[in-house]
Structure 1
Amino acid sequence: MSLSRRHFLSAAAAGTLAAPLLAPRAAHAQAEVDEARSIDVITPDTQKAIDRGLAWLSKRQILSGRNKGAYGHGGYAGGVAVSSLSGLAFMCSGNPPGQGPYGKSIDRSVEFITSCVQDSGYISVPGFGQDNMYGHGFATLFLSEVYGMSDRSDIDTTVGEKLRKAVKLTISCQNDQGGWRYQPQKSDADLSITICNIMGLRAARDAGIHVPEEVRDKCIDYVKKSQNGDGGFRYQITSGGGSTFPLTAAGVVSLYSAGIYDGDQVEKALAWLMKYMPGSGSGNTGYFFYGHYYAVQAMWHAGGSHWQKWYPAIRDLLLKRQSGDGSWSDSEVCSEFGTAMACIILQMPNNYLPIFAP
Structure 2
Amino acid sequence: MPRSWLLAVLATAVVAGVLAVPAAPSVRAAEEKHSYQKKDVEKAITNGLEFLKKQQQQDGHWEAQGGQYPTTMTALAGMSFLMEGSTLKEGKYSDQVTKAVKWFLSPARLSAEGKIGDVRNPSESVRYMYGQGFGTLFLASVYGEEEDKEQRQKLEKLLKKSVEFICKAQTSKKHKKAEGKEVEIGGWGYVSAADGGNFDEGSVTITALQGLRAAKNAGIPVPKEAIDKAVAYLEACTTPKGGIIYSYAGGSGAALNGQERPPLTAAAICCGFSAGQYKSELPKKWIKFCKDSIPIGKGRQNHDEYQTYYFSQAVYALGDDKYGQMFPNDAKDTWLTWSKFKESSIPGILESQDKGSGGWSQGYIGPVFTTSVNLTILQLDKGILPIYQK
Give TM-score scaled by structure 2 length: 0.76
- Which residue of 1 is the match for residue 117 of structure 2? 124
Aligned AA (2:247): Q
Of 45, 50, 56, the residue aligned with 1:55 is 50
Point out the more displaced range, 327-336 or 262-271.
262-271
What is the alpha-carbon distance in structure 2 between the residues aligned to residue 129 and residue 258 of structure 1?
35
Secondary structure of 1:92's match? helix
* CA distance in structure 2 between the aligned counterparts of 1:55 and 1:111, rounded to whole angstroms: 20
Whether the aligned pair in 1 keeps the contact of 2:7 and 2:231 (CA below 8 Å) is no
Q: Is the 8 A contact 1:250 1:294 kept in 2?
A: yes
Residue identity in the other structure for 1:312: E
Q: How far did 1:279 drift?
A: 5.7
Deviation at 1:166, TM superposition (A): 0.5
Which segment drifts farther, 81-90 or 128-137? 128-137
In the TM superposition, 1:282-321 aligns within 5 A as 284-286=301-303, 288=305, 290-304=306-320, 305-321=336-352
Q: Residues of 2 paired with 1:18 and 1:328: CA distance?
A: 31
1:89 is displaced (CA, Å) by 0.3
> Which structure has the larger Rg over C-alpha atoms?
2
Deviations 1:13-54 (A, max 9, x none): xxxx6222459xxxxxxxxxxxxxxxxx97111111111000
Residue number in structure 1 paired with 2:41: 46
Q: In the alignment, is residue 135 of structure 1 matched against residue 131 of structure 2?
A: yes
Write the distance in 2 (CA, Å) between the matches of 1:125 and 1:140: 13
Alignment match of 1:209 (pick from 213, 220, 234): 220
Correspondences of 1:72-221 after superposition (within 5 Å):
72-77=63-68, 79-115=70-106, 116-131=109-124, 132-176=128-172, 177-186=185-194, 187-221=198-232
**Matched positions, count:** 322
Q: Secondary structure at the match of 1:130?
A: helix
Query: What is the CA–CA distance in structure 2 between the aligned matches of 1:258 and 1:227, rounded to whole Å?
Result: 19
Q: TM-score, structure 1 length as denominator?
A: 0.83
- In structure 2, C-alpha distance between the alignment counterparts of 1:44 and 1:278, rounded to whole Å: 29
Give CA deviations for 1:233-256 in whole Å, capped at 9, x if unaligned.
Answer: 221124256223321111112533
| Alignment map for 1:250-265 (pairs within 5 Å) | 250-256=267-273, 260-265=277-282
Mapped to 2, the partners of 1:184 and 1:159 lie a distance apart of 23
Aligned-partner residue type, residue 195 of structure 1 = I
Distance 1:51 1:257, change over 3 A: closer
For structure 2, the 5+ residue unaligned runs are 9-35, 173-184, 321-335
Q: Quick one: distance in 2 between partners of 1:274 and 1:281?
A: 16
Deviation at 1:120, TM superposition (A): 1.1
Q: Distance in 1 between matches of 2:159 and 2:114?
A: 8
RMSD value, Cα: 2.4
Letter in 2 for 1:152: D
Q: CA 1:260–1:282 in 2, change beyond 3 Å: closer, same or farther? A: farther
Is the CA contact 2:101–2:139 (under 8 Å) kept in the aligned structure 1? Answer: yes
* Superposed displacement of residue 282, structure 1: 6.6
Decide whether the 8 Å contact of 1:71 with 1:77 is kept in 2: no
SS in 1 for 2:241: coil
Establish whether residue 19 from structure 1 lines up as the match of residue 4 from structure 2. Answer: yes
